[in-house]
Structures are given as structure tokens and as C-alpha cells.
Structure 1
Amino acid sequence: MATPFSPQVRNPTHRNPWEPQTEHSNGHPRDANLHSNGTYSPTASSSNLPPSIDSDKNPAAISLRSFALGATSSASLLTTLYLCPLFTPNQPTTPPPPTPLWRLPLFLLLLSLFHYLEYHTTALSNPSAATVSAFLLSSNGKAYNIAHGLAFVEAFVHHHFFPGYTNGIFPPALRTAWLVLGAGLLVVGQSTRTTAMLHAGTNFNHLVQSKKKEGHVLVTGGVYRYLRHPSYFGFFWWGLGTQVVLGNAVCLVGYAVVLWRFFRRRIEKEETLLIDFFGIDYVRYRDRTRVGIPFIP
């Protein structure tokens, strides 16, 4: 059986009704403006306009942040390699001092990688949430930026004004072990958080959701099989790892206290909502898993 759009060879008199199309009859589209001089200009359709520069999904804003983070990562890596005594030629092979200057650009590198991975992982697992805010560059509030600024200040002051203080107290082996501990916390923290975002998929969001969205399911597989808030676990230990690598004693304690209080309140609020969403299923899941942050059951 022929469709209405198929030509009928056996019935040449059959024709589809012809309707004149004004946008083709004069060679100009229907959505065009006729000027007094007889020329036409297209009328912009709101669906074809790019997002505003202030929009959270503006491609220009996203690409600009990606470029800035990439440039910062490259410059920080090169500076770290240049200043690190392990990569400096014509020097004896000795354990690095507790807070050398090379740890400052390393901190910048770690921050740049973290913020880039936040957006990149979101784009992979939950594309609809891949917005400017997903970088977490400005959405964490002033306290977040102040904390990192204080970490820079402490490391700089420690290195310039008290360069030999820690060297005189701790033996080289202990200083090296402390640095290795910090590196381990960084790797475990970052990899756990990134893996958690990937395993959660579209169920992951940087903001606590007060209403259950369509398609929202309780994720209990992958890394969520062992940790019920693996992204919080990852960020907590990653944050402490940055301070261990920097050799910051004051900010290490400060980071631990602030992050612990923040995640305790956030987890309490989030789990109350999750019980409303999933009922007894979440209660049972909560009872058989852990958070992985000290003193938060």
C-alpha cells in the first residue's frame, strides 16, 4: 500500500493538493524582516540564540574555565618540577625539606586538576548537570577560597621564616614518610570521589536534592557497596592530603575540623531526605555501610 507521499504510477491523475509556500514564493524566509529599502534580514529565533554569557550552560564560559584550569595545571607542573630538589641537577640526593617552595605550585596543580575533574566527570556521568557551576570554582562560597588562601600563606611563611624548624625535629625518614602519606591521601581521595560520581551517574548532583526526581534510584553498587557517601569520603581525605603534602600543621587541623563539621551536617540532612525518598530500603543500606569519615557513623 502506498503512503500519501509515494508517487502513484498507475494513477497519473492523482495529485497531492498543492499549497503555496510564502517563504519560497519570493525567495525569502517567512521569519524575515522587510526593510524600507526592499531588503530582508532574518529574524533571530530564541531557540537558535546561544545561551547568555551569564547562563550556567554558556559554552564560552565553560571553555574559558577549562582553558584557564589547563593553563594553570601546565604552569604549576613545570614550576613544581623546576623547584623540586628531586629534579634539580647537581644536587645531592637528600629527602626534600618539609615545606619547600615547590609545594606551593604543586598545591595549585592539585586544585586545578580537582576542579577540572569535577566538571569533566559530571559531563561524562550526568551531562544535563554539566554547567559552569559543576567546576565548583565559585559555588563553594568564600570560606572555601579563604581556606585555600590561608594554606598558601602558612606554607609560604613556614618555608621563608622557619625553614629549618621541622628539619631539626624530624629525621629525614619521617619527613619522607609524611610526604608519602600525603600523596597516598590525595590519590585515594581523588580517585574515590571521581569513581563515586561515575558510579552514581545521573543520580549524582553537587546540590542536595530536596525533592525526588523522576528516574532517581538508590545506588548501592560499585564503590557505594562499601561507602554510602564516597564522594564526601573522597573530598575529606583529599583535603587533608593537600595539607599533609604542604606540611601545614595549623591548616591541617583547621581543614579537619571544618570539613568534619560540614560533612556531618550535610550527611544528616541528606540522609533524612533519602529516607523520605526510599524508606526502609535506605535504612537497611545505611545500616550495612559506613561513611569512612572519623566519628560519623
Structure 2
Amino acid sequence: MKKSTAALGSVAWFFLAPGIVAIIFPWLITGWQFDNDVPDLLRIAGVAMASTALATLIHAFDRFVAEGHGTPAPVAPPVNLVIGGPYRYVRNPMYLAVFSIIFGQALIFGNCGLLWYGALVICASVIFVHGVEEPILRNQFGDEFDRYRHNVRAWLPRSRPWYAQPSNPETHR
């Protein structure tokens, strides 16, 4: 896939998947109305959490274009296993970023409904990753995915990045 096509597809998927889950549904739940009883410190923590997560999410999407030569969308998957950038620390940085954006908004707006929604998103994501995504990755990338899976946890980030011995060092910077 051409880099420009992968980039356009990734941008479209960014707005379709995490955009709907992390922005549209939280807006529907909260109307982005603030609870005036929330301490400013919690709001600041929520802004820091959500903005850091958004930066991580954008970086993870970029890895699919630069390293994977594809998109995170199932209709145009990467041709290379994406293991660089935030994927050196945790196998599912996009999901963790989406969770953090949701929980960050819960702090910003002081909305318990977002906590319940976030918990539901986590449950659905874990089931989907283990039941659908990982078997597909195992089938597509075989031993390379198994080695990655053995060294990088799915949900709890490593304290130090993992570096594989890539078959093409140029794709894993």
C-alpha cells in the first residue's frame, strides 16, 4: 500500500473508531457539561491524562503508516507487524489511549456515567483483542507475533522498551 493511501485510510479510521468511542459517545453521555463540584486539581489531572493519551494515540496511528505500511482498520491492515514507538512498551497502546481519554473526560466533567462507559469499553476491548485481533495477528505474522507477544504485555506497559531483531532495521526505528 502506498504511504499516502495508508495515511488517508488511517486518518479516516482515526475519526471513525477512536473518534466515535472516545469523543462522540462521551459527548452524548456528558453533553460536555461540567460538574461545578469537581476540584480544579481533578480537572487538571483529567486534561493531562486525556491530552497525553491523545498524543500517544496519534503516534500509534502514525506507526501503522510508517512501519506497518497499512492502517489500523481491518479493511486495510498493515503488511508488517507494528512493534515500534509505543508498541515497544505495550501491545495495545491505542486501546489504552482511548481508555485514558474517556477516563480523563470523566475527571474533567466530573461524570460518573463516563466511568461506567469506560469500564464497558475496557471489557468489550479485551474480549475483542483476545478473541479476534490476536488470532488474526498470530495467523498473519506467526512466530514474529509470538515472540512479540512473549516479550510485550497486552495491557500493562513495560518500564523499558523492547527491541526485536528486525528483519528490516529501517522499518523499526
Partner amino acid, structure 2, of 1:240: F
Which residue does 1:135 correspond to in 2?
Answer: 15
Is 1:289 equivalent to 2:152 in the alignment?
A: yes
Q: Of the two, which has the highest radius of gyration?
A: 1
Q: Which runs of 4+ in 1 moved over 3 A?
A: 130-134, 144-147, 291-294
Which residue does 1:263 correspond to in 2?
Answer: 125
Measured in 2, the distance between the counterparts of 1:260 and 1:293 equals 13
Return the TM-score normalized by structure 1.
Answer: 0.43
Measured in 1, the distance between the counterparts of 2:144 and 2:153 equals 15
* Alignment deviations for residues 158-204 of structure 1 (CA, whole Å, 9 cap, x no partner): x5xxx5xx37xxxxxxx232122101211221011000111221332
- Retained in 1: the 8 A contact 2:26–2:114? no
Which residue does 1:152 correspond to in 2?
Answer: 31
Which residue does 1:253 correspond to in 2?
Answer: 115
Structure 2: runs of 5 or more not aligned:
158-173
- Retained in 1: the 8 A contact 2:90–2:156? no
Measured in 1, the distance between the counterparts of 2:51 and 2:155 equals 16
Measured in 1, the distance between the counterparts of 2:100 and 2:29 equals 18
Measured in 1, the distance between the counterparts of 2:10 and 2:64 equals 15
Higher helix share: 2
Q: 1:129/1:238 Cα in 2 relative to 1: closer, same or farther (>3 Å)?
A: same
Question: 3-state SS of the aligned residue for 1:218?
Answer: coil
Q: 1:254/1:275 Cα in 2 relative to 1: closer, same or farther (>3 Å)?
A: same
Which residue does 2:54 correspond to in 1?
Answer: 190
Q: How many residues align?
A: 149
CA RMSD of aligned residues (A): 3.2
CA deviation after TM superposition for structure 1 residue 255, in Å: 2.4
Partner amino acid, structure 2, of 1:176: D
The 5 A counterparts of 1:198-209 are 198-201=62-65, 202-206=69-73, 208=74
Question: 3-state SS of the aligned residue for 1:266?
Answer: helix
Q: 1:203/1:130 Cα in 2 relative to 1: closer, same or farther (>3 Å)?
A: closer
Which residue does 1:273 correspond to in 2?
Answer: 136
Measured in 1, the distance between the counterparts of 2:136 and 2:43 equals 39
* Alignment deviations for residues 46-74 of structure 1 (CA, whole Å, 9 cap, x no partner): xxxxxxxxxxxxxxxxxxxxxxxxxxxxx
- Retained in 1: the 8 A contact 2:13–2:72? no
Question: 3-state SS of the aligned residue for 2:31?
Answer: helix
- Retained in 2: the 8 A contact 1:240–1:255? no
Measured in 2, the distance between the counterparts of 1:238 and 1:133 equals 17
* Alignment deviations for residues 76-107 of structure 1 (CA, whole Å, 9 cap, x no partner): xxxxxxxxxxxxxxxxxxxxxxxxxxxxxxxx
Measured in 1, the distance between the counterparts of 2:63 and 2:138 equals 21
Measured in 1, the distance between the counterparts of 2:54 and 2:85 equals 16
